[in-house]
Amino acid sequence: MSLVRDFFIGLSENKLLNSAAKKYGLKLGAQLVVAGTNVDETIESIKKLNAQGISCTVDNLGEFVFDKSEAIEAKEKILSVVEAIHTHEVDAHISLKPSQLGLDIDYDFCFDNLKEIVAKANQYGIFVNFDMEDYDRLQPSFDILESLSKEYDNIGTVIQSYFYRAEEDIKKYKDFRLRIVKGAYKEPEEYAYQDKKDIDDNYIKLIEYHLLHGKFTSIATHDHNVIDHVKEFVKVNNISNDKFEFQMLYGFRYDLQLELVRQGYNECTYVPFGNDWYGYFMRRLAERPQNLNLVAKQVFNKKTNTFIGLAAGAFLLGRLTKKK
């Protein structure tokens, strides 16, 4: 399993494949995992999900941002999403990556960009979630969160269960709305668990802690075993459904999302949009390779093999690139 995970992480970091995916994404079947290439398309996708009782968190996709102009462009696009959520009165909030907004360029520059987004979202009562990335970006992202939380209360973040420090972090930030995930980057043994069982066990431990002690918990999983465990845990501990939600990715297990809504649980879909979708999707496969099967089944239901072609092409191109 670790070899499969490493393989998909390697693909996610391949700039050649990222560039090709941006150019040919829709032809390769990117629409299966991306809600739209622009804000208008994305809002329409959100409206359809809202109509089924599903809320959304919106992510403007982006990789490898090392230029201030790119970061400013990303900021403006996210601000336009905030404005569109308010204008169309849809049930949605924002997810963003500090690195896309300049964290790798300059800390203060990134802080100012994030503050502008958070301030605008706060004006409209829209929540903003700081997605966590790899270990090197972890503490700076937490630092920005803490600084902004002194002025704004509409922000939260992500705790990744593969980090040794995750238990300490979840206790420190328990008063924030938190999304609990397993983690989707390749991290050294110095910082993170490497064994799947250790990661899974810590994942459940973190979920249970925040359900009992935290503000609001977003449980990011497609695993019915985890979902069933949470259902039983909240029942035994008399935890209200208003204290948590399940989160799944756009294009994945839509039937299960609808079933959770029918059962009275809060369900939120992670809605990515834009052309820079490739790295995001490869990390989702790294996080849980079974996701490939979930999408493939939906592709077959639509009588198309575009996604299988994408996966095969990525595999072959990855091998050729490695040989070079």
For residue 133, tell me if it sits in a domain.
yes
d(CA 109, CA 184): 26
Question: Which H or E run includes 90?
Answer: none
Count of domains in the chain? 1
Tokens of 172: 């420190």
Helices (H) and strands (E) in the chain, counts: 13, 8
User: 86-144, pLDDT tens digit by residue?
Assistant: 999 999 999 999 999 999 999 999 999 999 999 999 999 999 999 999 999 999 999 99
d(CA 75, CA 257): 30
d(CA 288, CA 8): 10
User: 294-307, pLDDT tens digit by residue?
Assistant: 555 544 444 344 44
The owner of tokens 């369900």 is 267
Q: Note down the domain range covering 161.
A: 34-276
For residue 195, tell me if it sits in a domain.
yes
Q: In Å, what is the CA distance from 16 to each residue of 37, 285, 315, 320?
A: 20, 19, 13, 11
Residue at 164: amino acid letter: Y
Q: For the whole prediction, is pTM greater than 0.75?
A: yes
CATH number at residue 220: 3.20.20.220
For residue 306, tell me if it sits in a domain.
no
User: 245-274, pLDDT tens digit by residue?
Assistant: 999 999 889 999 999 999 999 999 999 998
Q: Please, what sign has the CA dihedral across residues 90, 170, 228, 302?
A: positive
Catalytic residues: 131, 179
For residue 142, tell me if it sits in a domain.
yes
Query: What proportion of the chain, given as a percentage, has pLDDT over 70?
Result: 75
